[in-house]
Amino acid sequence: MEHAVAQTHQDWLIRVAEIFTPFEEDLFRDLGVRRLVKSLPNGMRWVQLENPALLHESAALKFLRWKLPLEHAWPCQPQRMHGFVEKAASTLREKFAQRSPQAVVVGALDPSPAGRYYRTLASNLRGRALQMFEHVLQGAHATEQQDPERMSLFVHIGSEGLFAGMATPRAAGGYFPGGTKFIQQAGDAVVSRAGAKCVEALHLVTCFRPVPNAGSHWLELGASPGGMTRELLDRGYQVTAIDRAEMHASLIGHPALVIRRMAVADFPKPAANFYQALLCDMNGDSLAAIRQVVRLSAGLQQGSLVIFTLKTHGQSSYAEINALHDEVIRQSHPLRHLSTVHLNYNRMEMTIFFEAG
């Protein structure tokens, strides 16, 4: 049989950030990985799970960038194959059209510049698949317009072949195959790389809830030099930025920005409902940081979004990171924990989304 299909739901594609590869053994144990079938580029792993029902309960989940049931695998060499796009699109239609995905999203396994050939191939395959799926696609065809709670067909291609499955963007970990979103920061206006983290967090949080309305007032803790502040201001938000250190010169005097150069602990508790969102990227002790977030969340409107960077530099093992994370969640009461993710632009840290009230 030319198409090696017939993968069961025991087969999954998971993506582990490079920074966590030293913990791969712990992750696989917690996830109940029975067998590593194949290592693919960019931290993607084809694994077989003992009990996929437990995947979404696992402490390991927050270390994964992407998790997709692998329902169709076609190990082949697309570059050498005549008519790959046509064959692949017909097979996808045959296998998945009757399940009416809301979108067909195709991406290269290797999204780096080296994977350029496959990015072009992915775009051609997506174009052809969209024509073939036209009769079943409901609503949003654009990648970023997917409903986070409806099933999409995600397809990965690379020199190793084609790998596809259906999941909601929320369950899989994003709107793009592999969970990758390339963030274009605005050239000379870049204040710090942390800005990309903020953009990615605002993108990914929509898997769980809407972003705050334009004009909302953010309280930002640990804001200097101001990469995130810049991104918030560019989106039409007001910001009160607190940091002991100075903000970048380009931000000073911005009409929607109030700068408080001080220790966060000295910032007085705000009046109720004063802010509509809170961002904390303070470095140092994450438990001290979450205590400040909880104290200052008294000034948040009910339902406000809180984005918290969990800094894990001091934790050298998988168990230590999990223990710190769980303690931060425990101490975050009365905030409501929505999700913990490891962003492409996170290093030895994770991003936690909470809601106030």
Ligand X SMILES: C[S@@+](CC[C@H](N)C(=O)[O-])C[C@H]1O[C@@H](n2cnc3c(N)ncnc32)[C@H](O)[C@@H]1O
Are 156 and 107 a contacting pair, CB within 8 Å? yes
Residue closer to ligand X (CB basis): 284 or 334: 284
Least Cβ distance, residue 284 to ligand X (angstroms): 5
Least Cβ distance, residue 295 to ligand X (angstroms): 12
Our finding on whether 226 is near ligand X (CB under 6 A) is: yes
Our finding on whether 281 is near ligand X (CB under 6 A) is: yes
Residue closer to ligand X (CB basis): 42 or 346: 346
Size of the site for ligand X (CB under 6 A): 20
Our finding on whether 344 is near ligand X (CB under 6 A) is: no
> End-to-end CA distance of the chain, in Å?
56
Our finding on whether 224 is near ligand X (CB under 6 A) is: yes
**Contact region for ligand X (CB under 6 A) — 7-15, 111-119, 122-130, 188-196?**
188-196
Our finding on whether 347 is near ligand X (CB under 6 A) is: no
Our finding on whether 114 is near ligand X (CB under 6 A) is: no
Our finding on whether 160 is near ligand X (CB under 6 A) is: no
* SS3 per residue for the chain: CCCCCCCCCCEEEEEECHHHHHHHHHHHHHHCEEEEEEECCCCEEEEEECCHHHHHHCHHHHHEEEEEECCEEEECCHHHCCCHHHHHHHHHHHHHHHHCCCCEEEEECCCCHHHHHHHHHHHHHHHHHHHHHCCCCCCCCCHHHCCCCCCEEEEEEECCEEEEEEECHHHHCCCCHHHCCCCCCCHHHCCCCHHHHHHHHHHHHHHCCCCCCCCCEEEEECCCCCHHHHHHHHCCCEEEEEECCCCCHHHCCCCCEEEEECCHHHCCCCCCCCEEEEEECCCCCHHHHHHHHHHHHHHEEEEEEEEEEEECCCCCCHHHHHHHHHHHHHHCCCCEEEEEECCCCCCCEEEEEEECC
Residue closer to ligand X (CB basis): 191 or 207: 191
Which of 4, 6, 245, 249 touches ligand X by CB under 6 A?
Answer: 245
Our finding on whether 174 is near ligand X (CB under 6 A) is: no
Peptide bond into 225 cis (omega under 30): yes
Are 7 and 71 a contacting pair, CB within 8 Å? yes
Residue closer to ligand X (CB basis): 169 or 195: 195
Our finding on whether 201 is near ligand X (CB under 6 A) is: no
Which of 7, 102, 192, 276 touches ligand X by CB under 6 A?
Answer: 192
Virtual CA dihedral for 109, 111, 115, 117, nearest 10 degrees?
90
Neighbours of 98 (CB within 10 A): 8
Residue closer to ligand X (CB basis): 146 or 346: 346
Least Cβ distance, residue 226 to ligand X (angstroms): 5
Our finding on whether 227 is near ligand X (CB under 6 A) is: yes
For the record, the structure tokens of 344 come out as 């492409």
Contact code string over 284-303 relative to ligand X, x by CB under 6 A: x-------------------
Our finding on whether 218 is near ligand X (CB under 6 A) is: no
Our finding on whether 104 is near ligand X (CB under 6 A) is: no
Least Cβ distance, residue 210 to ligand X (angstroms): 22
Our finding on whether 243 is near ligand X (CB under 6 A) is: yes
Our finding on whether 349 is near ligand X (CB under 6 A) is: no
Residue closer to ligand X (CB basis): 7 or 216: 216
Our finding on whether 225 is near ligand X (CB under 6 A) is: yes
Q: If we measure between CA atoms, which residue out of 267, 348, 254 comes closest to residue 309? A: 348
Contact code string over 24-53 relative to ligand X, x by CB under 6 A: ------------------------------
Our finding on whether 158 is near ligand X (CB under 6 A) is: no
Contacts to ligand X by CB under 6 A: 192, 194-195, 222-228, 242-245, 263-264, 281-284
